[in-house]
Structure 1
């Protein structure tokens, strides 16, 4: 169905160069493109625009959101926005997505490898955690704790785009994803590089906050319900647990990630200072 003409009303927003934002009357659906990252909402889009490492392809914005971007970022936008109505963005995102008048298409960020990790900051590995809301929340927490990278598998893991990116609230720009074919093989490779591999599981033999931890370290989290797979457990040097003093003994995986990262970063910081 064709778009309704915009008539003669011109967008009030203009880029610093004085060129008005342009409209695209035929928004393109791009779901399923593995080489394309979809970001929407204020924090994901604003952080991506601040990130010089992110290659941008296309920015759609309502008039108000485009003006706000220009004012609040305090710098010229690196890509000219296409001024659109909110319903045009609605057709490009998931149902009920809160896009706040911003939609960005970009390339994936560069991915580290086991050989390029510095080992100076905690690395996080996710063992088949499939819910994009949970993974997004974990990414946001990881960014807050200065995690160097998040390792996920090519299969049974959500892509770093869309819902995940919105839940991460800009965290994707600060914590790179390392997508691997086999998590166990990657943990073995990290072990050969001297990484201490710590799994988290309710059946762990030691409390995580009482374990002797050192850098470099990779913290491995399992999926809700199933936890760590057996092969993943076998590739860990130790399995820690979180002891909950209250009536509820289990936590959502994103909450468990936050508590675990606090304990691990505190322990390795103390080890470095000692």
Structure 2
């Protein structure tokens, strides 16, 4: 006779077996490496991401180690080699990874304070400069971020092409890759470049806003610079926020656990989430790899520009 006690015992056994099966991946992956593209200096990345790494480690039950990449390509190649299990990508670097055969799947991106999931590429100049448009900057110095940066190279080149500037390297006196979004802003503030490309979501949500909050930008007399010391002279069409992506070869149970930990973060560890986003984001939006198909077309366009110039 089947009794209530037997039914409950069977249900408990099934739940235990299912739970054990879901955790099998941890035997192979006792530690996960999480890589971040270099949007800011190394100490800033560590301060921003360390609490979130602790949160992920607790939620996943395995150690999650932060890796600060030297450049965007290092994240791509790290995932290609299988040394990076989870990555925070820019849209263009993720598209480049996919174009070159990296086995990586997007599962989330950021939700902005207003509920949108995009941002912009902008050209900044100093407000004290006479420049009000790109056509006034011919023969001047342009600061870009990294060849694989979306808002710091690929979209700017696309925008310049729309203005009739197919070859930025001959239009400007010098084009400098600064290596990070922060470095591009620093180069502008210090006068190394006359105009700098960068990312911007709103006046309160951008690399510039973060740097001003941290007091990283100074005038020649040592006084802190302010938002009004900079001017945007061009803004692109909206760009989809870059993805968080895991290795395609990870077990499905591991992928599900990682995604769940992300989506639960704002409620389960608000302090870590807010530190990660400077309080400017609402949460993580479920995403799929196909969401960045449009960015792949952008990368192909920029590649074609480069090949045309080379020929």
With the length of structure 1 as denominator, give the TM-score of the two structures.
0.25
Q: Which has the higher contact order (CA 8 A, sep 6+)?
A: 2
Tell which structure's C-alpha radius of gyration is larger.
Answer: 2
